[in-house]
Amino acid sequence: MSTLPNCPKCNSEYSYEDGDMYVCPECAHEWAKDGAAEKSDEARVIKDSNGNILQDGDTITVIKDLKVKGSSLVVKVGTKVKNIRLVDGDHDIDCKIDGIGAMKLKSEFVKKA
């Protein structure tokens, strides 16, 4: 019987194979058998409009009026957004804006405060 590697994220010994991936049932982390996808979290770098690197928990400022899709609301220039969260996808910032609520923003329309 072969031994499977421990999870690189939480070091759990209960990992299992799923196709060409390993999966950890405790933290739901998935990684490739060849180890190529292990560094995907570190490789993702999100920058603001000025080229500053953004991180979770940063405060940002909106640099352009942004229409909120599906409503008549507008996020005005200069709106400060605190405690952002970075996510994968086209809109790579997840945040909560006062008076509007939860939103996703593109990093190209913000600058780090």
Res 44 pLDDT > 90: no
- Alpha carbon of 92 to those of 38, 68, 76, 82, 84: distances in Å? 20, 16, 19, 15, 10
Res 86 pLDDT > 60: yes
- Assessment of whether the complete model's pTM goes beyond 0.75: no
Strand 110-112 to strand 80-81: parallel, antiparallel, or no bridges (unpaired)? unpaired
Res 6 pLDDT > 50: yes
**50-74 mean pLDDT:** 94
Q: How many CA atoms lie within 13 A of 104 on its CB side?
A: 8
Q: How confident is the model at residue 36 (pLDDT cuts 50, 70, 90)?
A: low
**32-43 mean pLDDT:** 61
Write the single-letter amino acid at 76: K
Q: How confident is the model at residue 37 (pLDDT cuts 50, 70, 90)?
A: very low
Sign of CA dihedral 32, 37, 58, 85: negative
